[in-house]
Amino acid sequence: MIPASPSLTRISQLRQRLRDLGAKPCHEDRVLRGWSQVCSYDRKGSPAETFFPATLRNELPAIEAELDGLARLHGEYPADDEVARLLVELHDGQMVESVLLPRGGLCISTQVGCAVGCVFCMSGRAGLLRQLGSAEIVAQVALARRRRAVSKVVFMGMGEPAHNLDNVLEAIEVLGIQGNIGHKNLVLSTVGDLRVFERLPQEAVKPALALSLHSTDDALRAKLLPNAPRIPVEELVERCEEYARATHYPTQYQWTLIEGVNDSDAELERIVQLLTGKYAIMNFIPFNEVDGLDYRRPSPERLARIVGTLKQRGIITQLRDSAGQEIEGACGQLRARAVKEMPN
Ligand code: SF4
């Protein structure tokens, strides 16, 4: 049975616990490094044995056990190309998904469920169930690092990071400072929310930005992403551009391609108009056909034409597959299955 460990779900709670045990900032820093990088607390010439105050040292095993209980591996579904979906069980039995990606990448979740309700996504089917604390977010990275090295973290799993921004930014700060992940290799994905554009430029660790666009047409976008803020597409692109120029990381635009819905030539033309001259990368992800969702992905010929057209017109364009979709289906499907199979 997994011990409930609600007292350490946030990094601020972990820091406070350490301070209560006599930790100074240098001690906190070393604990956070050891945890998030899954490495020893010892440093050359400064072993943990003599570095930490005795009160803290004595409590560390209990704290580590609590942190381990924040995210446990419930199931692993490997595929080719270093890709594997991880079904992660949280301390209260809730499930989220992380995905190991090629070249040291990791996609993690920020919420259990999601309130945005994108029509093509399984994660949003049941709405938002709860927020993940910042420590639960970092714990997914620690869990993945016990399996292999992680050098890039994308916040594109279950949940809308903008709806849990305090926790997401707290996690990003630890991953970028103590977690040894390059700031541009932390990628926050959002459907577009003013809070993101206001907060990110103020942060010590500024992640790269991915914007889920899916259509250039405001009315269609509102149908595809029913609970996303109603910010006109042009304004979204302008705000992303401002952030991209300030940070020197291009904005990654995400677009799930659905046959007959958002794969028209008119959409391509508007993408060209919007993104020409912008510091941007267009990522197309063909819709992943799953039970219960009545959409289709465009044919391989159409996909090739879409990508070819945009490249010809000078837009940096990539065609991506939703990682691991060939193993166990769309984002959120593993969790949906695990929950269904749970005893009442
Ligand atoms: Fe939420 Fe992302 Fe799914 Fe949309 S695609 S419902 S934002 S998890």
How far apart are alpha carbons 112 and 167 in whole angstroms?
13
| pLDDT beyond 50 at 323 | yes
The pLDDT tens digits of the residues spanning 179-223 come to: 999 999 999 999 999 999 999 999 999 999 999 999 999 999 999
Read off the pLDDT band of 293 (50, 70, 90).
confident
d(CA 51, ligand 1 centre) in Å: 44
Query: Which pLDDT score, from 0 to 100, does residue 335 have?
Result: 65
Average pLDDT over residues 223-245: 97
The pLDDT tens digits of the residues spanning 6-18 come to: 689 999 999 999 9
Q: Which atom of ligand 1 is nearest to the CA of 225?
A: 4
Q: How many CB atoms lie within 10 A of CB 227?
A: 17
Read off the pLDDT band of 23 (50, 70, 90).
very high
289 is catalytic: no
Q: Which of 28, 89, 97, 241 is catalytic?
A: 97
- Using the structure block, give the residue that is written with the tokens 């159409």: 302
Ligand 1 site-directed mutation target among 96, 111, 112, 114, most atoms within 8 Å of CB: 114
Protein residues whose CB sits closer than 6 Å to any atom of ligand 1: 114, 116-118, 121, 123-124, 158-160, 191
| pLDDT beyond 80 at 230 | yes
The pLDDT tens digits of the residues spanning 124-151 come to: 778 999 999 999 999 999 999 999 999 9
Query: Which pLDDT score, from 0 to 100, does residue 272 have?
Result: 98
Ligand 1 site-directed mutation target among 98, 107, 111, 121, most atoms within 8 Å of CB: 121
| pLDDT beyond 80 at 3 | no
Residue 83 in contact with residue 94, Cβ under 8 Å?
A: no
| pLDDT beyond 70 at 329 | no
88-99 as b/e, with b when 16 or more CB fall inside 10 Å?
A: bbbbeebbbbbb
How far apart are alpha carbons 215 and 256 in whole angstroms?
9
Q: Using the 8-state DSSP alphabet, how is residue 292 labeled?
A: T
CA nearest ligand 1 atom 4, residue: 118
Q: Which atom of ligand 1 is nearest to the CA of 156?
A: 2
Give DSSP secondary structure letters for 152-213.
Answer: EEEE-SSS-GGGGHHHHHHHHHHHHHTS---GGGEEEEES--HHHHHHGGG-SS--EEEEE-
Question: What is the average pLDDT value for the chain, to the nearest integer?
Answer: 92
How far apart are alpha carbons 259 and 302 in whole angstroms?
9
Residue 143 in contact with residue 73, Cβ under 8 Å?
A: yes
Average pLDDT over residues 277-291: 90
d(CA 16, ligand 1 centre) in Å: 33
d(CA 275, ligand 1 centre) in Å: 23
d(CA 158, ligand 1 centre) in Å: 7
What sign results for the dihedral spanned by CA atoms 76, 77, 82, 88? negative
26 is catalytic: no
Q: Where is pLDDT greater, at 318 or 322? A: 318
Residue 134 in contact with residue 11, Cβ under 8 Å?
A: yes
Query: Which pLDDT score, from 0 to 100, does residue 2 have?
Result: 45
Query: Which pLDDT score, from 0 to 100, does residue 328 have?
Result: 44
- Give 91's contacts (C-beta < 8 A, 6+ positions apart): 2, 3, 4, 5, 6, 9, 69, 70, 136
318 phi and psi angles, rounded to 5 deg: -130, 145
Ligand 1 site-directed mutation target among 107, 120, 160, 213, most atoms within 8 Å of CB: 160
d(CA 116, ligand 1 centre) in Å: 6
Query: Which pLDDT score, from 0 to 100, does residue 122 have?
Result: 82
Whole-structure pTM value: 0.93
| pLDDT beyond 90 at 292 | no
**Lowest mean per-residue pLDDT among 48-52, 70-74, 143-147, 235-239:** 48-52
How far apart are alpha carbons 265 and 313 in whole angstroms?
13
Query: Which pLDDT score, from 0 to 100, does residue 1 have?
Result: 42
Closest CA to 218 of 295, 164, 274, 177: 274
How far apart are alpha carbons 219 and 115 in whole angstroms?
19
Query: Which pLDDT score, from 0 to 100, does residue 79 have?
Result: 80
Residue 174 in contact with residue 32, Cβ under 8 Å?
A: yes
Read off the pLDDT band of 334 (50, 70, 90).
low
CA angle, 178 as apex, 177 and 184 as ends, to 5°? 40
Indicate the burial class of 48 (C-beta count within 10 angstroms; 0-12, 13-18, 19 or more).
middle
